Amino acid sequence: MTGIGRIERYVLGRVLGGVGAALAVITAVILLVEFVDLSRTVGIRTDVGVGEIFWLSILRGPSLALVLLPFVFLFGGIGAYVGLNRRSELVAMRAAGVSAWRFILPSAAAAFAIGLAAIIVLNPVASALSARFEIERARLMQNYLGDIPQDVWLRQGDDRTQIVIHARARDTVQGFVRLRGVSLYIYQKNTTGAPEFKQRIEASEARLMPGFWQLRDVREATAGESSVHSDTLSIRSSLDAEAAMERFASPEAISFLRLPDAIRLTEQAGFSAAGYRLRFWQLLATPLLYAAMAVLAAAFSLRLARLGGLAGLAGAGVALGFVLFFFNQFAGALARADIIPLFAAAWAPPVVALLSGLSLLFFTEDG
């Protein structure tokens, strides 16, 4: 803060205050909506109390709040700049010869820094809380309305062997992933690199331990030979509990720090990691997106109040924010369909938002 003047610090403080107020309002709405939704699903059990539902809402809230953080910077920035404008403080600054760029750039830099903190610190925390949410919700709904089939497919392997794992149900016991009704299909690559079926293993239960699968009540069947029964069997695994759970989750539920490993393991197992790569690029573009939203907030709020139309211009800024949100989703859908490159889909929305804000500011400030 020592590198900027008092006016810049004052405007930055007002903008951060507006962002904080917008964050509080949006977080409260998220918790309320999530509480109502969980009351309709988990709350149908008579033995689940209000406190447990509220705790689930808190666990789920951070991951949803991160999705809406760009709107926090847009709404909070617009509210702060419109307030300064209506009190004629911006008029006084300009009359004193202060360029709008002097207080817009610190706000954009602060948004960029918060974006870095969001992907490095907040995103892993939100992912961990989301994983805890899934575990707690599964625990509360356990054995409710009987056992519901939930087929699970996993794949692991290396350059020589590929194992396809199918299970009829899964759960988590004492931090370990447990599969029930398990079938393992083992393939080995021949000299030409094509996979050949070698063995099928059936087990009533498979528990993922550090470095291996622990199978119980096992029956092994090799091509051309009779099956062999054994009480237990260990199969080496390249997955850990967190990586296995990530195979059940969407890319949005995996933390930024875990995404490179998820990409590597997914491609090693022979699957496409396009969804994980897209999510990784989108998270890398997050700081630029936050800074772009801060610039957009200023661009749509600096019109002099005495000229009129300030409310309409601010409303147009809010509408543009929603357009950019849907543009981001649309670009992601095109990338997942291999229509456009993943890099372009992740970086196009923040770049378009930043260029739009800068173009409007150049037009209004520099003619």
> What mean pLDDT value characterizes the chain?
79
Q: Which residue has the higher pLDDT, 44 or 323?
A: 323
pLDDT at 143: 57
Q: pLDDT of 181-230, one tens digit each?
A: 888 888 887 777 677 788 888 888 888 887 788 888 888 888 667 778 88
User: At residue 320, does pLDDT exceed 70?
Assistant: yes
pTM for this predicted structure: 0.73
Q: Write down the pLDDT at residue 111.
A: 92
Q: What pLDDT is attached to residue 1? A: 46
Q: 68: burial class by Cβ within 10 Å (0-12, 13-18, 19+)?
A: middle
Please report the pLDDT score of residue 290 as a whole number. Answer: 93
Consecutive H or E run containing 138: helix 123-140
pLDDT number for residue 4: 66
Helix (H) or strand (E) segment spanning residue 333: helix 310-336
pLDDT of residue 147: 47
Residue type, 138: A
Please, what is the end-to-end C-alpha distance for the chain in angstroms?
30
E strand or H helix that includes residue 122: none
CA dist 284 and 257 (Å) reads 11
Per-residue pLDDT tens over the stretch 86-119? 777 777 877 777 777 777 888 899 999 999 999 9
User: What domains does the chain contain, in order, with CATH numbers?
Assistant: 6-141+277-366 (no CATH), 159-237 (2.60.450.10)
Mean pLDDT (whole number) for 36-46: 73
For residue 230, the one-letter residue type is: S
pLDDT band at 292 (very low <50, low <70, confident <90, very high): very high
pLDDT at 133 over 70: yes
Higher pLDDT, 276 or 32: 32
Q: What is the mean pLDDT of residues 67-77?
A: 88
